[in-house]
Amino acid sequence: MGHAGPAVATRTLTGPTLVKATIAIPTYNGIEWIADVLDACLQQAIDFEFEVLVIDSGSTDGTVDAVRKRVAVRLHEIPSSSFGHGRTRNLAVELAQGEFVAFITQDAVPANRFWLAELLRPFEIADKIACVYGKQAPRPDCCPTVKRDVINHFRSFGPDHFVILQVDNPHLTSQAERDALTYFSNVNSAVRRAAMKTVPFRDVAYSEDLALGRDVIEAGLIKAYAPLAVVTHSHSYPLRAYFNRMYEEMRGLWLTTGRSIDTSLPRNVAIVVRGTVQDWRFILRDRAYSWPAKLKWLVQAPAYNVARRVAVRLARRPGLPAWAGRAMGRTAVPAPAPDASPATRA
């Protein structure tokens, strides 16, 4: 079923060539935001046909029912054991009828009715553009440490009124330069379906989007950033959950790439102090926070910054210490994997 703007609720198509784009949304127990996400997708104001495809991997919280209530959405269900971040997105590309496949997560809400048009706009520039990623805007009540990180991260790519094209350059040799060049996020992205035959998503446990960004650049193709294609997305974790999440992210980075952002103890302390001061300034200036919320976040900001740097350091250890597991709220601490160190992997 395709759509040509918000006035079209459902449409019978005569063939897949009528659909220009597929919006693909992997879901699993995403009831909190899925209705907002789907409605925002279906209300896109564009002049071409598109479809919305949901691939659910065993939700039990009502997500599937919410999807089925929207007859214009195509639902494909898979067992949870079949899910993989790269594997499931490759499946979406196979199932898609559109020439382009836009990916968003189940909690990333398109911020306006021209999100899809702006996300696909860079593909018109050249056939070598294989993928595009858009901007993420944090929710107003997001915890300051995360909110500031999200804002600064996307601000670093350039002003919002420019489309940024990213192509390999042999003069970019530092790790920071390469990371910026290859960055890609499936929270808000799109791929050219034809290009995915050459550069598909890797079937990896972590960071399939970053892997795609590297593969696209190394294949001599072009990646684009479309800052006007905005989704609202962020996680406002309580401190314990934030500590756990940061550990999982840093651990995944270490296991999949062998890289870490850890540094010396004095340097880590300096980073904590600087980050706390920056958070305090941000909290006081941000009008989205009420004064009671400001006071709460001012008190908690040092702990969030400490938790981040401790998580970074712990991620390189073969196993998680019992005290850290308790601090993260884990009921059981997993035993270290035999290949915990990247040096042991071929």
Q: How far apart are CA 243 and CA 231, in angstroms?
A: 25
Q: Is the pLDDT of residue 339 over 80?
A: no
**What average pLDDT score do residues 209-220 get?**
93
pLDDT at 340: 36
Q: How far apart are CA 122 and CA 253, in angstroms?
A: 29
pLDDT band at 225 (very low <50, low <70, confident <90, very high): very high
pLDDT band at 332 (very low <50, low <70, confident <90, very high): low
Average the pLDDT over each of 181-185, 321-325, 331-335 and give the range with the smallest value: 331-335
Q: Is the dihedral of CA 250, 221, 203, 233 positive or negative?
A: positive
pLDDT at 192: 97
Q: Which of 305, 263, 265 is nearest to 282 (CA)?
A: 305
Strand, coil or helix: what is 128? coil
**What average pLDDT score do residues 110-135 get?**
97
**What average pLDDT score do residues 258-282 get?**
94
Q: How far apart are CA 48 and CA 256, in angstroms?
A: 39
Q: What share of the chain is helix, strand, coil (3-state, %, to 5)?
A: 45, 15, 40
Strand, coil or helix: what is 109? strand
89 touches 20 (CB < 8 A): no
Residue identified by tokens 């929207």 is 70
pLDDT band at 14 (very low <50, low <70, confident <90, very high): very low
Provide the b/e sequence for 167-194 (b: ≥16 CB within 10 Å). ebeeeeeeeeeeeebbbbbbbbbbbbbe
pLDDT at 77: 96
pLDDT band at 179 (very low <50, low <70, confident <90, very high): confident
Q: Is the pLDDT of residue 16 over 70?
A: no
Q: What is the pLDDT of residues 39-81, one digit of tens each?
A: 999 999 998 999 999 999 999 999 999 999 999 999 999 999 9
Phi, psi of 21 (to 5 degrees): -140, 145
The ranges assigned to domains in the chain are 16-232, 239-344
Helix (H) or strand (E) holding 296: helix 291-314
Domain 16-232 bears CATH identifier 3.90.550.10: yes
CA distances from 86 to 38, 74, 207, 212 (A): 22, 20, 9, 9
pLDDT band at 333 (very low <50, low <70, confident <90, very high): low
Structure-token pair, residue 167: 């192509």
Alpha carbon distance, N-terminus to C-terminus of the chain: 46
pLDDT at 88: 96
Q: Is the pLDDT of residue 3 over 80?
A: no
pLDDT at 205: 80
**What average pLDDT score do residues 207-223 get?**
93
Length of the chain: 346
Averaged pLDDT score across all residues of the chain: 89
Q: What is the pLDDT of residues 90-117, one digit of tens each?
A: 999 999 999 999 999 999 999 999 999 9
Q: What is the pLDDT of residues 238-264, one digit of tens each?
A: 999 999 999 998 988 788 777 888 999
Report strand pairing: 100-104 vs 21-27. Answer: parallel
Q: Is the pLDDT of residue 38 over 50?
A: yes
Most distant CA atoms of the chain, gap in Å: 65
Q: Name the CA dihedral angle for 89, 94, 100, 101, rounded to a multiple of 10 degrees.
A: -30
265-285 and 144-155 helices, crossing angle to 10°: 90
Is 170 or 5 the better-scoring residue by pLDDT?
A: 170
Helix (H) or strand (E) holding 22: strand 21-27
Q: Is the pLDDT of residue 342 over 50?
A: no
**What average pLDDT score do residues 301-329 get?**
93
Percent of the chain with pLDDT over 70: 90
Q: In this structure, how many other beta carbons lie within 10 angstroms of the beta carbon of residue 290?
A: 10
Q: Is the pLDDT of residue 200 over 60?
A: yes
Q: Is the pLDDT of residue 228 over 60?
A: yes
Q: Which of 98, 121, 99 is nearest to 1 (CA)?
A: 98
26 touches 49 (CB < 8 A): no
